């Protein structure tokens, strides 16, 4: 934890992470970098919305409050949340909030993290066509909080930001140059905030300045990044989060002709096709559930579909790690994070075993241990290390926000 300056004593950062129909926020103390409040608002736009407040989350003093709400828009949700924070006495007012940090989905090829101004807002607007569900929600949250907290600086931390260092041959698609330029078509990569946090944490754990290796973020969405000297050189997600690994509800890599074929045969519109590939595919389509815990239970019962789904899931991860091993040459280690990466020892085991011939010696007992701390799961002396590193995107956003603002 960084030592804080006197001006940050007793101060907080508000972190906002808005999804297409939800938002997560945290108020984190600048002194100890832990949240005093974590909020989740779900089903924005629907009649059966839920707002969940966790005061002192993940501590023995945690208090959970759930409210039925109806938020027509993200803005209305944020306004109501802020009012409740004061009404419930979580903060007496907002004088102690020194900054807000916003996760923004897409910032294009140049923007990674920056103080929000008119130019940055325009960048967020410019990328709405490629992030039609997230970028408008992110902008709405920024603008409403600006009204509620006038004069409090805001920082945008782009989920694509960590990947802006990729070389052109890793991000360029083999299609018409004119069309790529006209529509900004290229690999952007996502989960950047997580890949950055986890690789920085791994470097610290390993006693290195920077990390060189492969980071696997395996949650509902899954992606892998190849990282050289702390900088991303390739990643599996592309123009959108659909490309790459098999995921909870996304198909990942697929022959581009397949959706065209289905659109012709079934008469699907682009929206229907996108829904099928993003929300009705992956583990959900193959095993009947997008939740890896269900897939594991089905495998135990000998369910053939679940076994195949899991084999595809693991195989694609192994394939990409192998590719990135070749890209990087020499690596410090392979990192696992996200709900599956942090918890599913049965997923980590076959993946690590596949790299035994390259010098990764898995310690199967260490692999079973559960912990919220970064940890090694390889045997002592293993040439390639395997680490489980719990992600913390909110903390990364908070630290980046304070850094950008010069604290
Ligand atoms: P998101 O990408 O939505 O943030 P998470 O990172 O929380 O999602 O990951 C969700 C995934 O993690 C789900 O597939 C869930 O089944 C899986 N997961 C969570 N805990 C475990 C566990 N103990 N064993 C296996 N999988 C788990």
Minimum-distance ligand 1 atom for the alpha carbon of 338: 6
DSSP labels, 106-174: --TTT-SEEE--HHHHHHHHHTTTTSTTTHHHHHHHHHHHHHHSTT--EEEEETTGGGGG--HHHH--S
E strands in 20-96 = 23-29, 35-42, 49-55, 63-69
Mean pLDDT by 10 residues, the chain (407 residues): 79 96 96 97 94 97 97 97 98 98 96 97 96 94 98 98 98 98 97 98 98 97 98 98 97 98 98 96 97 97 98 98 97 97 98 98 97 97 98 98 96
Q: Kindly state if the Cβ of 293 falls inside 6 Å of ligand 1.
A: yes
pLDDT computed for residue 1 by the predictor: 54
Q: Kindly state if the Cβ of 291 falls inside 6 Å of ligand 1.
A: yes
pLDDT computed for residue 2 by the predictor: 55
Q: Kindly state if the Cβ of 338 falls inside 6 Å of ligand 1.
A: yes
Q: Nearest-CA neighbor of 396 among 155, 127, 206, 121? A: 155
Q: Kindly state if the Cβ of 292 falls inside 6 Å of ligand 1.
A: yes
* Cβ–Cβ < 8 Å for 306, 285: no
Q: Which residue has the least CA distance to atom 3 on ligand 1?
A: 220
Q: Kindly state if the Cβ of 363 falls inside 6 Å of ligand 1.
A: no
pLDDT computed for residue 69 by the predictor: 97
Q: Kindly state if the Cβ of 248 falls inside 6 Å of ligand 1.
A: yes
Q: Which of 58, 87, 95, 159 is catalytic?
A: 159
Whole-number Å distance, alpha carbon 286 to ligand 1 midpoint, is 17
Whole-number Å distance, alpha carbon 196 to ligand 1 midpoint, is 20
CA atoms of 75 and 97, how far apart (whole Å): 19
Q: Which residue has the least CA distance to atom 12 on ligand 1?
A: 339
Strands 154-158 and 97-104: parallel
Is residue 95 part of the annotated active site? The answer reads no
Q: Which of 246, 292, 296, 309 to mutate to test the pocket of ligand 1 (most atoms within 8 A of CB)?
A: 292
pLDDT computed for residue 5 by the predictor: 82
* The model scores a pTM over 0.75: yes
Environment class of 9 (CB within 10 Å of its CB; exposed 0-12, middle 13-18, buried 19+): exposed
């Amino acid at each position: 934890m960084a030592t804080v300056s006197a001006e940050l004593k007793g101060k907080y950062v508000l972190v906002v992470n808005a999804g297409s129909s939800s938002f997560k926020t945290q108020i984190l103390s600048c002194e100890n970098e832990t949240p005093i409040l974590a909020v989740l608002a779900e089903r924005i736009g629907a009649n059966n919305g839920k707002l969940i407040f966790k005061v002192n989350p993940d501590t023995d003093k945690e208090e959970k409050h759930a409210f039925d709400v109806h938020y027509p828009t993200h803005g209305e949700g944020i306004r109501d949340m802020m009012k409740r924070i004061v009404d419930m006495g979580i903060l007496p007012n907002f004088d102690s909030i020194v900054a807000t940090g916003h996760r923004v989905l897409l910032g294009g090829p140049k923007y990674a993290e920056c103080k929000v101004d008119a130019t940055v807002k325009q960048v967020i607007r410019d990328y709405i066509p490629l992030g039609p569900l997230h970028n408008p929600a992110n902008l709405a949250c920024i603008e409403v909080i600006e009204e509620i907290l006038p004069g409090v600086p805001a920082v945008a931390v782009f989920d694509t930001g960590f990947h802006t260092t990729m070389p052109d041959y890793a991000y360029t698609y083999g299609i018409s140059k004119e069309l790529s330029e006209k529509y900004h078509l290229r690999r952007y990569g996502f989960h950047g905030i997580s890949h950055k946090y986890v690789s920085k944490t791994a470097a610290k754990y390993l006693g290195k300045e920077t990390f060189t290796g492969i980071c696997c973020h395996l949650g509902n969405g899954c992606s892998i990044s190849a990282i050289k000297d702390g900088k991303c050189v390739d990643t599996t997600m592309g123009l959108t989060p659909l490309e790459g690994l098999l995921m909870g509800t996304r198909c990942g890599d697929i022959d581009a002709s397949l959706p065209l074929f289905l659109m012709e045969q079934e008469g699907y519109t682009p929206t229907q096709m996108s829904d099928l590939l993003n929300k009705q595919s992956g583990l959900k389509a193959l095993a009947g559930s997008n939740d890896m815990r269900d897939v594991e239970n089905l495998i135990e019962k000998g369910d053939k579909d679940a076994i195949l789904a899991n084999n595809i899931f693991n195989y694609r991860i192994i394939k990409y790690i192998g590719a990135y091993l070749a890209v990087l040459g020499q690596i410090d280690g392979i990192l696992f994070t996200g709900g599956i990466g942090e918890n599913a020892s049965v997923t980590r085991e076959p993946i690590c075993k596949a790299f035994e011939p390259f010098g990764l010696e898995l310690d199967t007992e260490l692999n079973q241990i559960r912990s919220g701390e970064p940890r090694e799961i390889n045997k002592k002396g293993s040439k390639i290390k395997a680490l489980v590193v719990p992600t913390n995107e909110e903390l990364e956003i908070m630290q980046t926000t304070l850094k950008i603002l010069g604290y």
